[in-house]
Chain A
């Protein structure tokens, strides 16, 4: 079955620093990856959609200069939280949509990364 990994699983950083989160599709190629954010006791909110080799599409209200997304290959997308502040502390979850074959058109979710900004 499809496996999507995220690294790191947990990260604590100081306010003002930048943090990079990686999302990898391990056994399939993904043209499209999605980034979600989840605050405690709330649902997942879609932040952005990234397509391999092109710019990400951000949802309304998400600052693209603060949340930098790079989808440089068919198996890797990264989310960089720049100049992080305590209000950015959240659970970040990625998902990947398969290019074709058995993984085509389905979205598979990573296990999430818990970011704590102190």
Chain B
């Protein structure tokens, strides 16, 4: 089963630009997490935002959470070639359910 829907499904931007990915979900959650996955590799945990938080920062990452709209966004500022990867939101209730993901491609 899948909880989250990310949009866009794919995103190509120039290096140095900001990348924004959105995630919507359906049921109530304890927290929401964002992960990165390089092609053929494992998951890298980026950031966790709890249901009572609205915004969180970590380096070039900014995550927002709107529980009334059941949505979250991930902003990557000043993108780099190394940011090219798939990004997944994952909601946690009694288990973690992943969204479909956004494939981000940073153009040199």
Contact = CB atoms under 8 A, between A and B. Distances in A.
Genuine A/B complex: yes
Interface of A: 34, 36, 41-46, 49, 59-60, 91, 93, 95, 107, 109-112, 114
Interface of B: 1-2, 40-43, 45, 88, 92, 95-101, 103
> Which has the most chain A C-beta neighbours within 10 Å: B40, B92, B95, B99?
B95
B88 A44 contact: yes
Contacts, number: 42
B42 A112 contact: yes
Given A43-B2, A60-B1, A111 B42 contact: yes
B42 A109 contact: yes
A59 B99 contact: no
B42 A43 contact: no
A34 B99 contact: no
Given A34-B96, A43-B101, A109-B43, 12 more contacts: A36-B98, A43-B2, A43-B88, A44-B43, A44-B98, A45-B1, A45-B2, A46-B96, A46-B98, A111-B41, A112-B43, A114-B40
